[in-house]
Amino acid sequence: MRPALESFTPDDVIHFAENLGQACFTGTSGKIFPVGLKATQLLRAWLRRLRERGVAFQYRTHWCGFGDGGTILFAHEGAVAAQKPDAVLLALGGASWPRTGSDGAWTRYFQPDMLNPFAPANCGFRAALSPAFFSKHEGAVLKSVTAHFEGRKSRGDITVTKNGLEGAPIYALSAPLRQRITSQGAAELRIDLRPIMSMDQSRENVARLRPRESQSNHLRRLGLSPVARGLFQEAWFDHRDGLDLATALHNVPVRLEQPADMARAISVAGGVRQAAVDSGFMLRQRPGVFVAGEMLDWEAPTGGYLLQACFSTGYLAALSVEKWLTRHAG
Ligand SMILES: Cc1cc2nc3c(=O)[nH]c(=O)nc-3n(C[C@H](O)[C@H](O)[C@H](O)COP(=O)(O)OP(=O)(O)OC[C@H]3O[C@@H](n4cnc5c(N)ncnc54)[C@H](O)[C@@H]3O)c2cc1C
C-alpha cells in the first residue's frame, strides 16, 4: 500500500475536495470532514467536473467477465456486448453491504488463485452473553468505553446487537479479533467501563460504598448505566478471578465467538491477492486490466482510512493506466 499512499496522500484528498469547492476542517478527533458534513455535495461537484472533462457514464450496465481476444463483457438492458478497450480499470468494491451493489459477485470472473477469500472487517461480533442480557439490552449503548485486545485499545461507544456487540472500538480491533477466532475459536475482549477514571479514583469510589448494600446498588451508585451494569454482572459471575470491584470495572471480559454477517460489515478483508497484481495494480494474468479500491486484498480501520486507501489505489492504478496507454495504444 505504501507506494499508493505516497502517490495520493491524505493532504491530496483534502486538496482534491477543496479544489472541487468543498472546504474541509479537522474535527476534535483529528479526522477531516467537509464543512458541509455531507458527501453528496462533493460527489455532485466531482461528477460535474468529470462530465466537463468528457467522461461518458453508462448506467445500469453490469460488467460480466472477460471475453475472447482481450475483450470484456457488459450486460446492458438484457443484452451482453463485448468491447475491446485499450485499458480497463475495475473498481467493483468488496462484498459487504450488498444492497449498495458491492456484492462481490465479480469474483466468479477471476481465477481462484488470484483471490483470497472475503472475510468481514470493521464488523461486530457474536458474544457469549446470556439470552436474557440480549433481550433486555439489545440496542443499548455502552457510552465512551475502551475496548482492549492484545495490547491494543480503542475508545468509543459500543452497541449491543441481538446476539453480540458492535461499534467503533470493536471495528478498530476487528482484524486481530477475527484472526484469533479463526485460530482458536474465540477471542476475549476486555472492556474498561470507566476509562476516564484512574484505578486510584475507582478504588476511592468503591471504598466509599456501603458494604451492606447489594452489588446492583453499588454499581448504580458508581454511576454505571443499566447496560453497563448488565454486562458487568454477567462477566462478574463468570470470571470473578479474585479481582476487587474497582479493578474488575476496568477489565470486563467478554468472549467473542464469531464475526457478524459480512452483509453488515463496514468493509471486507480478502479480494484480489497482492501476488496477482504488479506494482501498478495491473493483473499479471490480464495485461491492460487494472484493479483498485476494496477489490484488492487490504484491510484498514474505519475513520477515513478505507476511503483514503480507495483514493490512493485508484490514483496509482490510473497513473499506471496512463503509462500503459502511452506504451501500447495506437
Ligand atoms: C455503512 C458504511 C460506512 C462506511 N464508513 C466509512 C467511513 O466512515 N470511512 C471510510 O474510510 N470508509 C467507510 N466505509 C467504507 C468505504 O465506503 C468503502 O471502503 C469504499 O466505498 C470502497 O470503495 P470502492 O470504490 O472500492 O467500492 P464501492 O464503493 O463498493 O463501489 C463499487 C461499485 O461497483 C459496483 N459494481 C459491483 N459489481 C459490479 C459489476 N459487475 N458491474 C458493474 N458495477 C459493479 C457496485 O454497485 C458499486 O457501485 C463505509 C462503508 C459502509 C458500508
pLDDT digits (tens, 9 = 90+) for 42-81: 999 999 999 999 999 999 999 999 999 889 999 999 999 9
Binding site membership of 92 for ligand 1 (Cβ less than 6 Å):
yes
Whether the CB-CB separation of 207 and 218 falls below 8 Å is answered with no
C-alpha cell at 148: 482492549
Sign of the dihedral defined by the CA atoms of residues 129, 132, 138, 140, in that order: negative
Q: What is the mean pLDDT of the chain?
A: 93
Share of the chain above pLDDT 90, in %: 81
**Per-residue pLDDT at 245:** 86
**Per-residue pLDDT at 240:** 54
pLDDT digits (tens, 9 = 90+) for 255-300: 999 999 999 999 999 999 999 999 999 999 999 999 999 999 999 9
Q: How confident is the model at residue 172 (pLDDT cuts 50, 70, 90)?
A: very high
Same domain, 87 and 47: yes
**Per-residue pLDDT at 297:** 97
CATH of the domain at 70: 3.50.50.60
Picking from 234, 259, 284, the residue at the C-terminal end of a domain is: 259
pLDDT at 195 over 80: yes
**Per-residue pLDDT at 242:** 56
Q: How confident is the model at residue 141 (pLDDT cuts 50, 70, 90)?
A: very high
Same domain, 238 and 148: yes
C-alpha cell at 16: 482534491
CATH of the domain at 247: 2.40.30.10
Whether the CB-CB separation of 268 and 261 falls below 8 Å is answered with no
Binding site membership of 267 for ligand 1 (Cβ less than 6 Å):
yes
pLDDT at 238 over 70: no
Binding site membership of 209 for ligand 1 (Cβ less than 6 Å):
no
Binding site membership of 305 for ligand 1 (Cβ less than 6 Å):
yes
Picking from 212, 243, 259, the residue at the C-terminal end of a domain is: 259
For ligand 1, what atom is nearest to the CA of residue 294?
26
C-alpha cell at 249: 470495572
Same domain, 324 and 208: no
**Per-residue pLDDT at 243:** 66
Same domain, 62 and 145: no
**Per-residue pLDDT at 196:** 92
Mean pLDDT over 134-144 rounds to: 97
Cα of 94 from ligand 1 centre, angstroms: 7
Q: How many domains does the chain have?
A: 2
Picking from 238, 259, 280, the residue at the C-terminal end of a domain is: 259
**Per-residue pLDDT at 152:** 95
**Per-residue pLDDT at 70:** 87
Whole-number Å distance between alpha carbons of 114 and 93: 16
Residue-number span of the structural domain to which 235 is assigned: 125-259
Same domain, 144 and 232: yes
* Length of the chain (residues): 330
Binding site membership of 226 for ligand 1 (Cβ less than 6 Å):
no
Q: Which residue, 241, 262, 259, is CA-closest to 250?
A: 241
pLDDT at 320 over 60: yes
Binding site membership of 93 for ligand 1 (Cβ less than 6 Å):
yes
Q: How confident is the model at residue 241 (pLDDT cuts 50, 70, 90)?
A: low
pTM of the full predicted structure?
A: 0.90
Between 282 and 214, name the one with better pLDDT.
282
Mean pLDDT over 295-311 rounds to: 94
Q: Which residue, 190, 157, 185, is CA-closest to 171?
A: 157
| CA distance between the termini of the chain | 31
Cα of 93 from ligand 1 centre, angstroms: 5
Binding site membership of 310 for ligand 1 (Cβ less than 6 Å):
yes
For ligand 1, what atom is nearest to the CA of residue 97?
53
Same domain, 134 and 106: no
The partner residues of 254 in beta bridges, in order of sequence, read 189
Same domain, 288 and 309: yes
With the CA atoms of 147, 152, 156 and 160 taken in that order, what torsion angle do they form, in degrees rounded to the nearest 10?
-40
How would you write the chain as a 3-class SS string?
A: CHHHHHHCCHHHHHHHHHHCCCCEEECCCCCEEECCCCHHHHHHHHHHHHHHCCCCCCCCEEEEEECHHHCEEEEECCEEEEECCCCEEECCCCCCCHHHCCCCHHHHHCCHHHEEEEEEECCCEEECCCHHHHHHHCCCEEEEEEEEECCEEEEEEEEECCCEEECHHHHHCHHHHHHHHHHHCCEEEEEECCCCCCHHHHHHHHHCCCCCCCHHHHHHHCCCCHHHHHHHHHHHHHCCCCCCHHHHHCCEEEEEEEECCHHHCCEEEEEECHHHECCCCEECCCCCEEECHHHECCCCCCCCHHHHHHHHHHHHHHHHHHHHHHHHCC
Between 27 and 146, name the one with better pLDDT.
146
What is the Rg, in whole angstroms, of the alpha carbon atoms belonging to the chain?
Answer: 24
The owner of cell 477471542 is 187
Same domain, 186 and 283: no
Cα of 226 from ligand 1 centre, angstroms: 36
Same domain, 242 and 165: yes
